[in-house]
Amino acid sequence: NRKNLLDQLAHTHTLAFEDFIDLLAHQDEELQAYAAGLAVKTTQCYYGNKVFSRGLIEFTNICQNNCYYCGIRASNENVQRYRLSDEQILQCAATGYELGFRTFVLQGGEDPYYTDDRICHLVQQLKYKHPDCAITLSIGEKSPESYKRYRQAGAERYLLRHETATPAHYHKLHPPSMSAENRYGCLRTLKALGFQTGAGFMVGSPWQTSEDLARDLIFLHELQPEMVGIGPFIPAAGTPFAQQPAGTLDQTLFLLSLIRLLLPEVLLPATTALGTIDPRGREKGILAGANVVMPNLSPRNVRAKYQLYDNKICTGEEAAECIVCLTKRMKSVGRELAVDRGDNVRYMKMK
Ligand code: 5AD
Ligand code: FES
């Protein structure tokens, strides 16, 4: 009967709120395997055996915000803060380009040093040097005017996880200076400006219920993002949530499958957090319906400083090593690591 719900989701790409709750509250091994089977079939139908790679450049760990879960929150005094110079960022991208990357994700804390002028200048330089590459920004909540300027500068994608679609839950994860409404508004603005937009949330964040997760799925259905980033919550030292339990591998895998069925064409990464809670987490993510991996291109000497959560993987490896490693890992689950831009297929049809 719950398998029927999954079949229905696979065909209609939506379910009633109550049905999502029912699935989420009764996850077991059999249901999870069934969802994964449908999800992989759906992924292969759109993307074949390809897994896309995006080169992640973590260019600043300075952040003005104080999200209770995040290791680089402003009040965490145990973090050594850094900013990469434009030259360093361009060097990361050049190295990444040599390695075959055609998408660069610039991710950072909400660092006031990076004014709109600086961000736009950076995007323009990257676009000038690598006109065949897609630039993704992941730099938090900004005004509609700022987002518009980034778009005009040439950025075509933006990642901003909504974190939770339940406002009351949002306010348990963030200080009063932040608001759920502003966050959701940012995502609507990004979509309206024509960004390929990524939303997402943590699985197993403190106080999260099946109802909250069901609302996350309904939210995704309404927003229709091109990308969705999810990963397990992992406690981070020096944060108010340092003693909270981590999210589980299996719940994250089940949600990856549900999201694949909900948004069949979505670009869905098997995240670093998933690889952190299980040594084969990313491979398992692919086998649950994910189709993107995001290896790190940041210089090795800053990697350990970008710790959103404890025990993050790949803090000692060079970009090239991660590529070799990921290529093997993807091969081990019958997939091929693709180095091209990997646009959402819906977007490709439009061009
Ligand atoms: N565990 C897992 N994910 C985290 N993020 C931030 N802190 C943590 C943590 N402790 C996620 C958030 C954010 C993204 C960049 O990383 O969802 O949007
Ligand atoms: Fe970085 Fe495996 S992907 S070491």
Residue with tokens 């992640």: 56
Residue 238 included in any domain: yes
How many angstroms separate the CA atoms of 202 and 229, rounded? 8
Q: Which of 99, 271, 322 to mutate to test the pocket of ligand 2 (most atoms within 8 A of CB)?
A: 322
Residue 188 included in any domain: yes
Helices (H), the chain: 2-12, 17-25, 29-47, 86-98, 116-129, 144-153, 167-173, 180-192, 210-223, 249-262, 272-277, 281-286, 300-303, 319-332, 345-350
Q: Which of 266, 281, 272, 303 is nearest to 80 (CA)?
A: 303
Residue 2 included in any domain: no
Q: What is the pLDDT of residue 51?
A: 96
Tens digit of each residue's pLDDT, the chain (351 residues):
999 999 999 999 999 999 999 999 999 999 999 999 999 999 999 999 999 999 999 999 999 999 999 999 999 999 999 999 999 999 999 999 998 899 999 999 999 999 999 999 999 999 999 999 999 999 999 999 999 999 999 999 999 999 999 999 999 999 999 999 999 999 999 999 999 999 999 999 999 999 999 999 999 999 999 999 999 999 999 999 999 999 999 999 999 999 999 999 999 999 999 999 999 999 999 999 999 999 999 998 999 999 999 999 999 888 889 989 999 999 999 999 987 665 555 544 443
How many angstroms separate the CA atoms of 313 and 311, rounded? 6
Regarding the beta carbon of 173 and ligand 1, being less than 6 Å apart is answered no
Q: What is the atom index within ligand 2 of the atom nearest the CA of 282?
A: 3
Regarding the beta carbon of 94 and ligand 2, being less than 6 Å apart is answered no
Residue 155 included in any domain: yes
Residue 144 included in any domain: yes
Q: What is the pLDDT of residue 320?
A: 87
Regarding the beta carbon of 345 and ligand 2, being less than 6 Å apart is answered no
Ligand 1 centroid to Cα of residue 15, in Å, is 27
Q: Which domain holds residue 30?
A: 18-350
Residue 343 included in any domain: yes
Regarding the beta carbon of 281 and ligand 2, being less than 6 Å apart is answered no
Ligand 2 centroid to Cα of residue 300, in Å, is 13
Angle at 339 between CA 312 and CA 123, to 5 degrees: 75
Indicate the Cα dihedral angle 153, 159, 160, 165, nearest 10°.
Answer: 140
Number of domains in the chain: 1
Regarding the beta carbon of 233 and ligand 1, being less than 6 Å apart is answered yes
Q: Which of 234, 243, 205 is nearest to 309 (CA)?
A: 234
How many angstroms separate the CA atoms of 63 and 82, rounded? 11
How many angstroms separate the CA atoms of 73 and 238, rounded? 9
Q: What is the atom index within ligand 1 of the atom nearest the CA of 161?
A: 18
The predicted model scores a pTM of: 0.96
Residue 5 included in any domain: no
Pick the ligand that lies closest to the CA of residue 293.
Answer: 2
Regarding the beta carbon of 159 and ligand 1, being less than 6 Å apart is answered no
Regarding the beta carbon of 295 and ligand 2, being less than 6 Å apart is answered yes
Ligand 1 centroid to Cα of residue 198, in Å, is 14
Q: What is the atom index within ligand 2 of the atom nearest the CA of 296?
A: 1
CATH number at residue 113: 3.20.20.70
Residue 6 included in any domain: no
